[in-house]
């Protein structure tokens, strides 16, 4: 049994057999440990944490009266094996110095399944003047045929949009030529040919960072955010400190503003 969410995610990504993927109870967040405090660094779309109103930058203090731990607050400690836990948990967190309490349930799966499911839940289309902007956050993508079909369907729905925002923050999994083909001219078929903005930050790493580097070579593609794990510098810098008290996402707003200017 692992003691971090990152280790569970990595185990799910590297396991070749589904029946050997590590499962756990979790609420659909990524966390960062800062001076002994656990801060929420990302909340998966459509996850229990999102439904409970948690957001990036919140400091989680306790669960059911015990100090918070991202794994052991919802799962037994070793050597016990995690089993589904259907309880409602009382979670206390701090936002802007004020403590709040929420009730939250967990999901029981390998963590990457929640990342994959969050992709579809993230999809949005909204109007900006007389234009339609699309948005998708590629939380988790794999080489699985079903995952590719899902992404193909999402991209097909974006064909009528004027521009598209692709969010690569916290992106996990595999992004290969068949995924690039949805954005680049190729022999695979149709591709998205309108203006495209990528949102990246220090959590954009590995395959997602390579994906961003490849797309950033196109004139119609602009990267926004902060430097990636491997040092890719976005064309439009927009920082978002974890301790920011703003309820808004300045990197998303910068991407939207950029597209508004392109019109």
Q: Structure pTM?
A: 0.94
Q: Which of 82, 111, 140 is the last residue in one of the domains?
A: 111
88 and 157 belong to one structural domain: no
Give me the chain's average pLDDT, please: 92
128 and 81 belong to one structural domain: no
- Give a yes or no: residue 116 inside a domain: no
- Give a yes or no: residue 69 inside a domain: yes
The per-residue pLDDT for range 82-112, each reduced to its tens digit, is 999 999 999 999 998 899 999 999 999 999 9
Amino acid 188: pLDDT: 57
Burial class (CB in 10 A: 0-12, 13-18, 19+), 28: buried
**CATH at residue 170:** 3.90.226.10
Find the helix packing angle between 111-122 and 5-14, rounded to 10°.
90
105 and 145 belong to one structural domain: no
87 and 30 belong to one structural domain: yes
85 and 169 belong to one structural domain: no
Task: Tell me the C-alpha distance between 4 and 208, whole Å.
Answer: 21
The per-residue pLDDT for range 223-263, each reduced to its tens digit, is 999 999 999 999 999 999 998 888 899 999 999 999 887 53
Task: Tell me the C-alpha distance between 200 and 197, whole Å.
Answer: 10
- Give a yes or no: residue 255 inside a domain: yes
Work out the percent of the chain whose per-residue pLDDT is above 70: 96
69 and 24 belong to one structural domain: yes
106 and 140 belong to one structural domain: no
The per-residue pLDDT for range 180-234, each reduced to its tens digit, is 999 987 665 689 999 999 999 999 999 999 999 999 999 999 999 999 999 999 9
58 and 105 belong to one structural domain: yes
* Dihedral angle over CA of 94, 95, 101, 107, nearest 10: -90
Amino acid 263: pLDDT: 39
The per-residue pLDDT for range 55-67, each reduced to its tens digit, is 999 999 999 999 9
Expressed as residue numbers, the domain containing 60 is 5-111
- Give a yes or no: residue 79 inside a domain: yes
């Amino acid at each position: 049994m692992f003691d971090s969410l990152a280790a569970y995610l990595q185990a799910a990504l590297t396991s070749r057999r589904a029946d050997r993927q590590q499962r756990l109870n979790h609420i659909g967040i990524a966390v960062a440990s800062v001076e002994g405090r656990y801060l929420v660094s990302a909340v998966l779309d459509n996850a229990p944490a999102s439904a409970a109103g948690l957001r990036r930058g919140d400091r989680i203090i306790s669960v059911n009266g015990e100090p918070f731990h991202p794994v052991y607050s919802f799962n037994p400690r070793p050597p016990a094996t995690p089993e589904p836990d259907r309880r409602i948990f009382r979670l206390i967190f701090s936002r802007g110095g004020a403590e709040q309490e929420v009730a939250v349930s967990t999901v029981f799966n390998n963590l990457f399944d929640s990342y994959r499911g969050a992709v579809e839940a993230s999809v949005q289309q909204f109007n900006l003047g007389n234009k339609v902007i699309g948005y998708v956050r590629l939380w988790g993508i794999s080489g699985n045929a079903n995952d590719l079909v899902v992404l193909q369907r999402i991209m097909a729905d974006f064909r009528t949009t004027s521009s598209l925002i692709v969010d690569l923050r916290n992106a996990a999994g595999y992004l290969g030529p068949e995924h690039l083909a949805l954005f680049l001219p190729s022999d695979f078929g149709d591709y998205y040919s309108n203006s495209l903005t990528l949102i990246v930050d220090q959590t954009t790493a590995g395959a997602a960072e390579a994906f961003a580097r490849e797309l950033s070579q196109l004139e119609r593609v602009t990267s926004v955010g902060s430097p990636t794990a491997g040092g890719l510098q976005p064309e439009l810098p927009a920082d978002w400190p974890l301790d920011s008290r703003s309820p808004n996402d300045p990197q998303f707003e910068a991407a939207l503003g950029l597209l508004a200017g392109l019109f």
